[in-house]
Amino acid sequence: MSEDTSSEIDKFRVRLENAKSYGEIWEIVKDSVEFSLHKRRGAMMLFLDDLPIQLGAYHPIGTNNIVLNRTLVQIVEAAISSKRVVNALIYNLLVHEYLHALGEYSEIEVRRMVYAIAQKCFGQSHVVTTIAEKTPWALLKGIPLEGVSAPKRVIEIVRDFEKADEYIV
């Protein structure tokens, strides 16, 4: 591994470790995809909704929206006290949907791309790459989810998710 690559990996790791909001993780998602694939898209919006536990997030085709499973994130936050792991989960879910928003619709190809991006930007031994390889549901192993029934709440828009560099009409 070259010194430049090692330096970039360190930067991505530190940024994710210190991220305190969905917006900060989103900036890392966009930067890592641009670094890896030289693609970028702006003007995205994030919504939090209570989805079936088997669905981490989704991107409605033809929109600039990503809907993240609020219940899944809350379960992982309650079960795993590591903010680093929770950020890695959110990163994985968002990068997956971002690739769909960039026009990649094959689930198999998107999973492969998420893993490749994770390896390039975080290194093989990082939790982001482990989650990309094993799927986010690996974090839920051993957590009894059969009895989980969260009340359906109103869908929530995440404010200040996307930093706009210019006014969008």
Helix (H) or strand (E) holding 31: helix 22-37
User: Length of the chain, please?
Assistant: 169
Sign of the alpha-carbon torsion through 75, 80, 81, 85: negative
3-class SS of residue 97? helix
Cα separation, 95 vs 81, whole angstroms: 22
26 phi/psi in degrees, rounded to 5: -60, -40
- Average pLDDT of the segment spanning 43-72: 95
Q: What is the pLDDT of residues 105-164, one digit of tens each?
A: 999 999 999 999 999 999 999 999 999 999 988 888 877 766 666 678 999 999 999 976
pLDDT at residue 3, rounded to an integer: 67
3-class SS of residue 156? strand
Q: What is the pLDDT of residues 4-37, one digit of tens each?
A: 678 999 999 999 999 999 999 999 999 999 999 9
| Contact in structure between 140 and 146 (CB atoms under 8 Å) | no
